Homo-oligomer: A and B are copies of this chain.
Amino acid sequence: MQHKSLASTGCAVARSLERVGEWWSILILRDASYGMTRFDEFQKSLSIAPNILTKRLNALVEGGLLERRQYQERPARFEYVLTEAGRDFRPVLWALLDWGTRHLSPEGPTVQVVNRRTGKPARLVMVDGDTGEPITPQDFMAAPGPAATPGILSRFAFVEEKRRDPEAKPKFAASATPSA
């Protein structure tokens, strides 16, 4: 983990980043979601140094996103399988895929999410599952939740104040719930 303090404001984005680790971890999760499980598969797919791969895999196991599972006895060999939390990380991968396709892939989609039944590429849209409304900045906004820390409350209060007074000076509370 690079930034032990990232999660200290209590922000779930920061917690996710701290837990997942770094770029390599996201690419490992990507390959795992495609169906790769073994060390040499990740290693060859990512052209990553073995010692770095070992570190990243261990961090993902510790973080609860991958499970290390023995698949052979003699010699003992292990594979890495997505946990429920790891499978649940897929929307982040899809959102990154979608953004990169729209903004960085002038040649068109290199990978796409397709409907298994029809084979048709999906148009990825985030909606409110309760109402079906697309999450647009016009209709939705981020706001402190019931478990907001003083650090989070002070950031949202500042942004509110800044809307009225562009010269407002930021003063942010430190976290009330420092990360472990």
At the interface, is chain A mostly helix, strand, loop or mixed?
mixed
Given the interface contacts A91-B95, A100-B16, A101-B12, does A122 sit within 8 Å of B111 by beta carbon? no
Q: Looking at the complex, which one of B104, B108, B126, B138 makes contact with A19 (CB distance below 8 Å)?
A: B104
Is B16 a contact of A147 with CB atoms below 8 Å?
no
**A41 contacts which chain B residues (CB < 8 A)?**
158, 162, 170
Copies, count: 2
Q: Are A110 and B162 in contact (CB under 8 A)?
A: no
Residues 91-112 of A, flagged 1 when their CB comes within 8 A of B and 0 if not, give 1111111111111110111111
Interface size on A, residues (CB 8 A): 105
Chain B residue nearest to A1 in the complex (CB): B23
**Closest beta carbon of chain B to A7's beta carbon, Å:** 8
Q: How far is the CA of A121 from the CA of B135 in the complex (A)?
A: 11
For the complex, is A14 an interface residue (Cβ under 8 Å from B)? yes
Chain B proximity of A44: nearest CB distance (Å): 5
Do B15 and A104 have beta carbons less than 8 Å apart?
Answer: yes
Once bound together, how far apart are the Cα atoms of A133 and B152, in whole Å? 34
Q: What 0/1 pattern do residues 23 to 62 of A give for CB contact below 8 A with B? A: 1101100110111100011001101000000000000000
